[in-house]
Structure 1
Amino acid sequence: MSERPAIEFIDLKAQRQRIGKAMDEAILKVVHDGNYILGEQVAQFEAGLASFCGAKHAIAVANGTDALILVLEALGIGPGDAVICPSFTFAATAEVVAWMGATPIFAEIDEATYNLDPSAIAAAIETARKHELTPKALISVDLFGQACDYEPIEALCERNGLVLIADSAQGYGARYKGRVAGGIGAFATTSFFPAKPLGCYGDGGAILTNSDEHAELLRSLRFHGKGSYKYDNVRVGVNSRLDTIQAAVLIEKLKVFAEEIEKRQIVAQRYTAALKDLVTTPYVMPDCVSTWAQYTIRVDADRRDAFQEALKAKGVPTTVYYPKPLHLQTAYRHFPVAGNGLPISERVAREVVSLPMHPYLDEETQDYIIAAVREALALSAAAA
């Protein structure tokens, strides 16, 4: 009997097999043309990215973290200002706020979606004011591929004068009540880190906005504060441009992105149907579509390690996103926490575990993973 091929947590090689020829041609065209910085492919990709989500402007930058930083810079956010954000997320969401000298205010998440809880925003605003800070913006995070519940968030931001910045690094392309993540918020940012649903062959990111004024400012900021030409520096900026080769890669990936999102739905539906009677499976809000950047279940905290070990023994990789909320991290624990703490964020962090998820998981591999998960759950329960 032949040995089972290794299961990839995210299989970029399978995608490469599908679009490799077109990708090779696109990359070689850039190589032969020699326009490696802001070549024509960058503008072409920006147009496609904006069109996909219904935004007016897309500004491609070097990575997703820079995308957030540049938005805060464009808004003039700095010392004395507060930016509300979740704690159950990757560090970049709060990191950029601290870099600007502003203060992140950590707010609670909704236990069903793992996204920022709209009802927690008022407490975060009150916390900011107690610390004599001016609430200026809110960074939402479309965690694991699902858009936040934006209607109440938008209403609260408008009522309180907060600029809504949607961190869609995991959720770009998700559907929310007829809208597409990337086109929601005063600004949306995304990352093209290779493991993201829409990823390049290195680092990359983008900012999306409907504001002509801010789009012009952001294009200047990403290019050393450029004015009418590159040696006319009208403001202090940074060097954060998406490489032309990465734009060429992303053009090809964007062509299959909608289909890949559909394929992810099939994988997620099969997982959920097979596992919902045993564990907490992901919840997707009505009239919404996740991009399934991750398929994340929850198991009892005292069983998680044993569960992961049992799956590892079966050749099934797992990952925990995220094992420690930011407000408990050494670098961020001195920043304010809204309300009476973040018990949901802390509890979820002890229980979540993500299973392999990508568009090219065939049914046989899915069935193997499902059977392994069910067996691992039984083994971990016996060990607990």
Structure 2
Amino acid sequence: MSALAQRTGAVNLGQGFPDTDGPHEVLEAAVHALRSGRNQYAPGAGVPELRRAIAAHQHRFYGMELDPETEVAVTTGATEAIAAAMLAFVEAGDEVIVLEPYYDSYVAVIQMVGGVRRPVTLRAPDFRLPVDELRAAVGPRTTTIVLNSPHNPTGAVLRAEELEAVAQVAREHDLVVVSDEVYEHLTFDVPHVPIATLPGMAERTLTVSSGGKTFSFTGWKVGWACGPAPLIESLLKAKQFMTFTSGAPLQPAIAEALMLGDDFFAEFSAGMRARRDQLCTGLAEIGFDVFVPDGTYFATTDIRPLGFDDGLEFCRSLPERAGVVAVPHQAFYDDVEAGRPLVRWAFCKRPEVIDEALWRLSVLS
């Protein structure tokens, strides 16, 4: 869809990347690292100052106690952390529970390791977790739950009772939870709570996050995983033969970013909330049925009120019809019918870009 936007000159509300860079002081930290010789291989687990900064961040925001030497690993984005976790924890034939719709890399890596995915579908309009379906998805070969909250693409943030339901299932069946929390600082109406902070979950949870979404440096691909030493050790054994290491001069810069003051995190969330409201209000005025997200920087709409019923066809024709690009939900589902009328829009763009997109989309109303 991004290639389609570039080819047609459409406004890209499809792929989730900001159209402005992150904090200037973080950029300068990367420049300093480049110029001061931080350009050779970093340690496989990550540079020490970044591992310390990640541990400090987890304590600062969530009260988690982590040993940066043994319970933190730096990865090439959150995507590599998820892939390494699947390689480390899932054997051929093992079943993995995944919240559907799901970020597309989950499907790919589960297939690559020979696992079997068991989707639990979050359904419109509220995209809440169906606890009975979660329990029913557990079988004798289930070993792992892949959790994503704040959730891409729906923008749902799991409530306390939903997290406890997942935790109860994991404890009862001795499952590992891989928790993708890359949008942890992008919640607007419901606070983010790492599932690792719930009773009995720290010892069975790998928490994954990234500097890309929080600091608007998605191209740097600096992510991390936190968890008990045995899980981190297993992940690093897989990572050793993937990238081994990457982004040496960018790692100390992300360490600086994680130590930014509380004002940065509050202002970042507030700014993205304003853009959420700008886009969602505009889409509703055009006539879409809008599901306002609790978190992330994606909003979902049902296109049927405007006379369309297939999101894939709608998105393919949208650049020519209105000069805008979006992403069809059905790309994220096994249950294609559940996602067929839904379309995802990214609001991590400058306000004037959102206004331009809304003006172009007004031809649909």
TM over 0.5: yes
Give 1:357's aligned amino acid. F
Matched, 1:15 2:15: no
Q: Is the 8 A contact 1:222 1:239 kept in 2?
A: no
Matched, 1:361 2:350: yes
Going from structure 1 to structure 2, the CA distance change for 1:203 and 1:22 (only over 3 Å counts) comes to closer
- Residue in structure 2 matched with residue 221 of structure 1 by the alignment: 237
Deviation at 1:295, TM superposition (A): 2.2
Q: How far apart, in 2, do the equivalents of 1:244 and 1:115 lie? A: 40
- Residue in structure 2 matched with residue 147 of structure 1 by the alignment: 157
- Residue in structure 1 matched with residue 272 of structure 2 by the alignment: 264
Q: Is the 8 A contact 1:167 1:190 kept in 2?
A: yes
Matched, 1:244 2:248: yes
Identity of matched residues, %: 12
Q: Is the 8 A contact 2:88 2:238 kept in 1?
A: no
Going from structure 1 to structure 2, the CA distance change for 1:187 and 1:123 (only over 3 Å counts) comes to same
Q: How far apart, in 2, do the equivalents of 1:281 and 1:197 lie? A: 27
Matched, 1:32 2:44: no
Q: How far apart, in 1, do the equivalents of 2:246 and 2:194 lie? A: 21
Q: How far apart, in 2, do the equivalents of 1:41 and 1:177 lie? A: 31
Matched, 1:350 2:340: yes
Q: How far apart, in 2, do the equivalents of 1:272 and 1:238 lie? A: 40
Q: How far apart, in 1, do the equivalents of 2:218 and 2:195 lie? A: 17
Q: Is the 8 A contact 1:53 1:173 kept in 2?
A: no
- Residue in structure 1 matched with residue 175 of structure 2 by the alignment: 162
- Residue in structure 2 matched with residue 330 of structure 1 by the alignment: none
Match of 1:59 among 58, 73, 81: 73
Going from structure 1 to structure 2, the CA distance change for 1:302 and 1:208 (only over 3 Å counts) comes to same
Give 2:296's aligned amino acid. T
Number of residue-to-residue matches in the alignment: 323
CA-to-aligned-CA distance 1:92-123 (integer Å, 9 cap, x gap): 21332333333222332232354753332133
Q: How far apart, in 2, do the equivalents of 1:81 and 1:223 lie? A: 20
Going from structure 1 to structure 2, the CA distance change for 1:104 and 1:61 (only over 3 Å counts) comes to same
Q: How far apart, in 1, do the equivalents of 2:11 and 2:56 lie? A: 32
Going from structure 1 to structure 2, the CA distance change for 1:81 and 1:7 (only over 3 Å counts) comes to closer
Deviation at 1:161, TM superposition (A): 3.0
Matched, 1:377 2:364: yes
Deviation at 1:321, TM superposition (A): 4.7
Deviation at 1:187, TM superposition (A): 1.8
Deviation at 1:137, TM superposition (A): 1.5
Going from structure 1 to structure 2, the CA distance change for 1:248 and 1:321 (only over 3 Å counts) comes to farther
Q: SS of the counterpart of 2:124?
A: coil
- Residue in structure 1 matched with residue 225 of structure 2 by the alignment: 207
Q: How far apart, in 2, do the equivalents of 1:376 and 1:311 lie? A: 12
> RMSD between aligned alpha carbons?
3.6
Match of 2:326 among 314, 319, 322: 319
Q: How far apart, in 1, do the equivalents of 2:101 and 2:359 lie? A: 29
Going from structure 1 to structure 2, the CA distance change for 1:124 and 1:45 (only over 3 Å counts) comes to same
Give 1:158's aligned amino acid. R
Give 2:237's aligned amino acid. L
What TM-score do the two structures reach when normalised by structure 2?
0.72
Going from structure 1 to structure 2, the CA distance change for 1:180 and 1:247 (only over 3 Å counts) comes to farther
Q: How far apart, in 2, do the equivalents of 1:307 and 1:222 lie? A: 37
Going from structure 1 to structure 2, the CA distance change for 1:46 and 1:167 (only over 3 Å counts) comes to same
Q: How far apart, in 2, do the equivalents of 1:200 and 1:27 lie? A: 17
Deviation at 1:320, TM superposition (A): 0.9
- Residue in structure 2 matched with residue 99 of structure 1 by the alignment: 112
Q: How far apart, in 1, do the equivalents of 2:12 and 2:104 lie? A: 25
Q: How far apart, in 1, do the equivalents of 2:314 and 2:191 lie? A: 41
Q: Is the 8 A contact 1:310 1:376 kept in 2?
A: no
Alignment of 1:225-304 (within 5 A): 239-251=243-255, 253-254=257-258, 255=260, 256-276=264-284, 278-284=287-293, 289-292=294-297, 294-300=298-304, 301-302=308-309, 304=311
Q: How far apart, in 1, do the equivalents of 2:333 and 2:322 lie? A: 32
Q: Is the 8 A contact 1:172 1:182 kept in 2?
A: no
Deviation at 1:212, TM superposition (A): 4.3
Q: Is the 8 A contact 1:318 1:356 kept in 2?
A: no
Deviation at 1:48, TM superposition (A): 5.0
Q: SS of the counterpart of 1:95?
A: helix
Give 2:290's aligned amino acid. T
- Residue in structure 2 matched with residue 232 of structure 1 by the alignment: none
Deviation at 1:206, TM superposition (A): 1.6
| Structure 1, gaps ≥5 residues long | 225-236, 328-341, 379-384
> Larger Cα Rg: Structure 1 or Structure 2?
1
Between 183-192 and 23-32, report the one with greater CA deviation: 183-192
Deviation at 1:168, TM superposition (A): 2.8
Going from structure 1 to structure 2, the CA distance change for 1:66 and 1:15 (only over 3 Å counts) comes to closer
Q: Is the 8 A contact 1:189 1:207 kept in 2?
A: yes
Deviation at 1:263, TM superposition (A): 0.8
- Residue in structure 2 matched with residue 173 of structure 1 by the alignment: 185
Q: How far apart, in 2, do the equivalents of 1:372 and 1:96 lie? A: 37
Q: How far apart, in 1, do the equivalents of 2:111 and 2:318 lie? A: 39
CA-to-aligned-CA distance 1:5-45 (integer Å, 9 cap, x gap): 985546645235xx346513433324423354144443354
Deviation at 1:67, TM superposition (A): 1.0
Q: How far apart, in 2, do the equivalents of 1:201 and 1:357 lie? A: 18
Q: SS of the counterpart of 1:139?
A: strand
| Structure 2, gaps ≥5 residues long | 1-8, 67-71
Going from structure 1 to structure 2, the CA distance change for 1:280 and 1:156 (only over 3 Å counts) comes to farther
Q: SS of the counterpart of 2:36?
A: helix
Q: How far apart, in 2, do the equivalents of 1:223 and 1:208 lie? A: 14
